[in-house]
Amino acid sequence: MTDPLPPPPKKNPQVRTVSPTRPPEARSRTALGLSAAAAEGRFALQHCDDCGKVQYPPRDACSGCLSTELRWKDTDTKGTLLAETTIHTSTKLYFRERTPWRTGSVQLDAGPVIICHLHGDCVRNGRVDIINRLDRSGQAVLLALPSQRSPHMEDDPQLRAMTSDPKHRRILITDARNPNTPEIVKALCDAGASMIFVGLSEAWRPSPTVDALSAMDKVDMLPLDVTDTHSVQKLAGAIGGKTDILINNARFLRPGGVLARSDTSFAKEEMEVNYFGLMRLAQSFGPAMASRTADGVNASVAWVNILSVHALSSQPEFGCFSASNAAARSLSQSLRAEFRASGLRVMNLYCGPTEDEWYQPLPPPKVTPQAVARTLVTGLQNGLEETYCGDVAKDVFERFRDNPLILERETTLAGDGA
Amino acid sequence: MGKRQSYDGVVLCAPFTTAYQRYSIETAHWWIARALKGSLDLAGLRPSEIDGFTVSSFTLFPDTAVGLTQHLGLSPRWLDHIPMGGASGVVALRRAARAVQSGDADIVACVAGDTNHIDSFRLMLSSFSRFASDASYPYGYGGPNANFALLTDRYMQEFGATREDFGKICVAQRQNALSNPGAVMKKPLTLEQYLAAKPISDPIALFDCVMPCAGSEAFLVMSEEEAAKRALPYARISGAIERHNAHAEDPIQLRGGWSVDIDELWDMASCAPVDMDLVQTYDDYPVISAMQIEDLGFCPKGEAPSFLRDKDMTIKGDFPHNTSGGQLSAGQAGAAGGFIGLVEAIRQVTGQAGPTQVAGASSALVSGFGMINYDRGVCSAAAVITGGAR
């Protein structure tokens, strides 16, 4: 049985903050297929196209028939724990600081035997479920969970080390005016977050969303305008050292592609909020968050961007907005690379059209604030890097993964009306 | 499968071990040169008189056997580099013997050596194999300790072995090492100390693990006439086997490749396990020694613990095993760990083992095991050698 994770004690400012260390990052290029699946929370192994044999460790040729046609496919997660060990010494600092650490050998029902991390509630010869997660090096690792849920199982220290769980963490949401903010706050509080800071711009402007937030527990509303460098720096000075998760939901959105507009003023505003806003936040909050990734129970753990799925491929009716989101997505990749050494994770949550005023003319399905909140919290709990909210976002992503040029073609048809 | 040809007419001589050191500021090249010179000096040969050379080492990078020829001033007409870790001694013997038999070389020097700097072991682990980087090191980075802990855990579950059973192997080897002045471990070890040792990766504790160190080993392979002409004590090769990636379908390694070829080994050697005066197993962990004792035919699978329970594994005992202390007590000098048992066995059957000599030893079984590529040792090899003219 997992011991419930107690809230962390108040930080002693005289004690040195532990420097982040990392588990091994080196992988073959082939093995990155497992990491790519972990970024989306999937357990995938290579299956041979010719004989069907499931491979592990990742290979370049089938160990059954020498075929080189190996394909990553979602794979049965069930298996049996054959042997286990508790590691007490390791030459890698990351593990040395975290011993005792359990690992085991699992015979997968799908065929291969894997060495994996063990959840504390797994027992020898017992049935287990394998999950594929990113560890603090940003690479995939496999973890065995007991096949039956156990109480407080998410508090297992080895599991928690792989995820961005909001429990006992202090979280900044950057835009109080975004209609999804109250639902995100509620979901985070339900998931055990200890404190929610919410950034509020132009406090004098009335807003029902802001009124709803004011009435909520654990919420601390603080002035923040992501288009103003000084404002971002000021807030980072106040709470940057206790921001464990940052959720950037600031958004500026107007319809229109290039020719629908006569000048660049809206486009500038979109870039100011959606692109430069992210950059300002990262420059002010990033360094402090990256230095606190080993700071105990409420170590900093994740940076979340809520983006339009059309960051992947333009939606011409919102062409300029799509462009600003593409810029933000590209910046998030740079940020992910820059945070990688610290273990701070960047999660992008991609939405289809949301249920709000600017998407009013679009047909359903639309994404509700509840759905955004649910996807976000689940993504954090699973330690994801990429997650998609709503049917439209999933559909666009499937098409994008299948063939980005076909996707572009089908979203830019002019029609045969004339 | 065709019948293997015998190794008649080929012999092993000039076994040399450079005394091991826990840490060394020297390089692998230095250690290899020391062993090569030691072996040549024993045989009264100059470097120019060898025309075959094979080397095994983990810390030679970026060099290989090729770089060593120029570094050491050798001009062989037969050259090999054997990256098989703990199996490299027996594999070197097999290849060199065939080279001499076929006339590709007259005198082959087989050498293994590694240095050990403060950080060598950690650095070697970080680049050992692709499968290890992809699928084993990310899991606690326990290195071979964690892998063999899983294997030991399974072996104990399957066969009811206890830590005392493994302790008996370690304690006897420590006793043997006390007679070997070149061993790294100098203090006696009791079973109580073994059982109370610091846990490393359960069920493996401190004395189940080898001590990484610097050291080197060498021997020469030549024709029997050549050895006789030079009046060198020599050992004959009665039989030898090797096998790689056997039993890949076993979920956890409880047996090695020896079990595939064992009948051929004893057939070829025209003798049986009971005829052996001593046994040198590859002892990176005691469970692996137990596995070899089973797979090489001394007892049925899973019965090594009970088989060893009434045996005395020391030099003076009824089942002399790893007589120089093995890697567990003499130290693991990298790839030289694949030679330690073989070089000691050549000394034993030629009556040159000095303080560790088993009285009247004339036949020995030597076994090698190497390379934890992912979850198990991939290479296995074994040879039976017998004393020739003294």
* A101 shares contact with chain B (CB less than 8 Å): yes
Is the predicted pLDDT of residue B288 greater than 90, yes or no? yes
Q: What is the ipTM of this complex?
A: 0.92
Residue B275 neighbours by CB distance under 10 Å: 15
- pLDDT-derived band at A418 (thresholds 50, 70, 90) equals low
Concatenated DSSP letters for A234-246?
Answer: HHHHHHGGG-SEE
Q: Tell me how close the Cα of A154 comes to any Cα of chain B, in angstroms.
A: 19
In the numeric block, the tokens 């790893």 are attached to B322
pLDDT per residue as tens digits for the range B212-261: 999 999 999 999 999 999 999 999 999 999 999 999 999 999 999 999 99
Task: Set out the domains of chain A in order of their start, with CATH numbers.
Answer: 32-160 (no CATH), 170-411 (3.40.50.720)
Q: Say which of A57, A82, A135 has its CB closest to residue B251.
A: A82
* Residue among A28, A30, A85 minimizing CB distance to B146: A85
- pLDDT given for residue A81 in this prediction: 98
pLDDT digit string, tens, across residues A270-289:
999 999 999 999 999 999 99
Question: Which of A26, A86, A103 has its CB closest to that of B139?
Answer: A103
Contact residues on chain B for A114, CB-CB shorter than 8 A = 135
Assess whether pLDDT exceeds 70 at residue B1: no
Residue A75 has a pLDDT of 98
Mean per-residue pLDDT, A385-394: 97
| pTM, two decimal places | 0.93
What is the per-residue pLDDT for B388?
65
8 Å CB contact of A87 and B140: yes
Q: Which residues of chain B have a Cβ shorter than 8 Å from any chain A Cβ?
A: 121-122, 125-126, 130-131, 133-143, 145-147, 149-151, 153-154, 157, 198-204, 248, 251-252, 374-375
Q: Would you state the pLDDT for residue B119?
A: 80
Task: Identify all chain B residues contacting A87, using CB atoms and an 8 Å cutoff.
Answer: 140, 142, 145-146, 149, 200-201
Q: How far apart are CA A310 and CA A323, in angstroms?
A: 8
Q: Is the pLDDT of residue A381 over 90?
A: yes
Q: Looking at beta carbons, which residues of chain A come within 8 Å of B136?
A: 115
Burial grade of B69 (CB within 10 A; 0-12, 13-18, 19 or more)? middle
pLDDT for A182 beyond 90: yes
Burial of B294 (0-12, 13-18, 19+ CB in 10 A): buried
Residue-wise pLDDT tens digits, B10-44: 999 999 999 999 999 999 999 999 999 999 999 99
- Closest to B113 measured CA to CA, from B330, B329, B338: B338
Q: What is the pLDDT of residues B36-66, one digit of tens each?
A: 999 999 999 999 999 999 999 999 999 999 9
Confidence tier at B390 by pLDDT (50, 70, 90): very low
Contact B138 A114 (CB under 8 A): no
* Nearest one of A151, A129, A143 to A3, comparing CA atoms: A151
> pLDDT by residue (tens digit) across B344-355?
999 999 999 999
Contact A27 B134 (CB under 8 A): yes
Q: Where does the pLDDT of residue B389 fall: very low under 50, low under 70, confident under 90, or very high at 90 and above?
A: very low
Percent of chain B with pLDDT over 70: 98
| Tokens read off for B180 | 């070997």
Report angle CA A204, A207, A209 to the nearest 5 degrees.
130
Residue type, B316: K
Residues in chain A: 418
Contacts of B143 (CB under 8 A, 6+ apart): A90, A91, B121, B125, B137
Kindly tell me if the per-residue pLDDT of A341 is higher than 50: yes
Given the candidates 3.40.50.970, 1.10.510.10, 3.30.200.20, 3.40.47.10, the CATH classification of the domain at B131-210+236-332+352-387 is 3.40.47.10
For residue A89, pLDDT over 50 is answered with: yes
Looking at 3.40.830.10, 3.40.50.20, 3.40.47.10, 3.40.50.1220, the CATH number of the domain B10-119+213-229 comes to: 3.40.47.10
Measured in angstroms, the CA of A105 and the nearest CA of chain B are apart by 7
- Taking CB atoms and an 8 Å limit, are A101 and B202 in contact across chains? no
Closest CA to A81 of A36, A42, A129: A129
By CA distance, what is B127's nearest residue in A? A26
* Annotated domain spans of chain B: 10-119+213-229, 131-210+236-332+352-387
Least confident of A1-10, A172-181, A240-249, B198-207: A1-10
How close A235 comes to chain B (CA, Å)? 38
**DSSP 3-state assignment of A45?**
strand
CA A232/CA A239 separation, integer angstroms: 11
- Domain B10-119+213-229 and domain B131-210+236-332+352-387, same fold? Reply is yes
pLDDT digits 0-9 by tens, A27-82: 999 999 999 999 999 999 999 999 999 999 999 999 999 999 999 999 999 999 99
